[in-house]
Structure 1
């Protein structure tokens, strides 16, 4: 399922996306708060594993493109992390550094929470952020997540958001 927001197109990744995604998913500085892929092959594998998970669960990270010109600027969405399992459904987002600070992560996070609440009807979703990653922590707060606790074994803060029910108008 593709989703459009005010400025973004969220679509399933295809193999041809990998070189553009690797520009930031493989950049140690851009990915300093998370995992950087060490090679184009590792990036391709990560995306392929998540796509396999999509076939099982119905959701996985999308390639994020600009609505205006289709340019790939990010990768993210809802997923059950196949590389660090056991945390439940999470939201993750990774953007090209040239796009940071423009509200795209918040736009993605809000689209993901709407999908989780109204389509997938998930009881809760989680997220992680490094304590020093103030920008990501702000994104999660804007999307309605609350910090639960620090997880020492990961060095990250665990966030959680329960399902928001639509109020009915009579």
Structure 2
């Protein structure tokens, strides 16, 4: 199911999306604060692993397109990480550098929280951000996440959002 926000179209990822996603998921600068897909094949595996989670759980990161022109500008949303399980439902977002600084991560995060609360009826959602990723920390703060603790083995802060109310 597709979701539209004011400026974004969120849709389940398709294998046909992978080359456009790899343009930034494989870019060292774009992924400086997180895992980078080294090859197109690894990116396909990454997307396919998340889509398997969508079939199993009903949610996974979306391909994020600009409503203005339909261009793929990001990947993100709700997920339970199939490659590092055990952290619960998370929100994550990864954008092409050309999309940085435009408020898209905030727009995606707010849509994801609404989906988690209103459709999935989740009690909480988690997120991670590296200390040096100030933009991501601001997005999570604005969305109402609370910093829980530093996870040294991941070199990231763990954030929680309680969805009650």
Q: So what's the TM-score if we normalise by structure 2?
A: 0.99
Residue 96 of structure 1 is matched in structure 2 by 96
> Which whole-Å deviations, capped at 9, do the CAs of 1:42-101 have from their partners, x for residues lacking one?
000000010001001000000000111110000001000011110000000000001100
Q: How does 1:18-37 map to 2 (within 5 A)?
A: 18-37=18-37
Q: How does 1:111-150 map to 2 (within 5 A)?
A: 111-150=111-150
Structure with max Cα Rg: 1
Gaps of 5+ in 1: 166-170
Q: How does 1:55-66 map to 2 (within 5 A)?
A: 55-66=55-66
Residue 164 of structure 2 is matched in structure 1 by 164
The offset of 1:164, in angstroms, is 3.4
Task: Note if 1:68 corresponds to 2:88.
Answer: no
Q: Which runs of 4+ in 1 moved over 4 A?
A: none
Question: How many angstroms apart in 1 are the aligned matches of 2:58 and 2:51?
Answer: 9
> Which whole-Å deviations, capped at 9, do the CAs of 1:136-168 have from their partners, x for residues lacking one?
000111111010010011110000000132xxx
Residue 39 of structure 2 is matched in structure 1 by 39
Gaps of 5+ in 2: none
Residue 106 of structure 1 is matched in structure 2 by 106
The alignment yields a C-alpha RMSD, in angstroms, of 0.6
Q: How does 1:11-22 map to 2 (within 5 A)?
A: 11-22=11-22
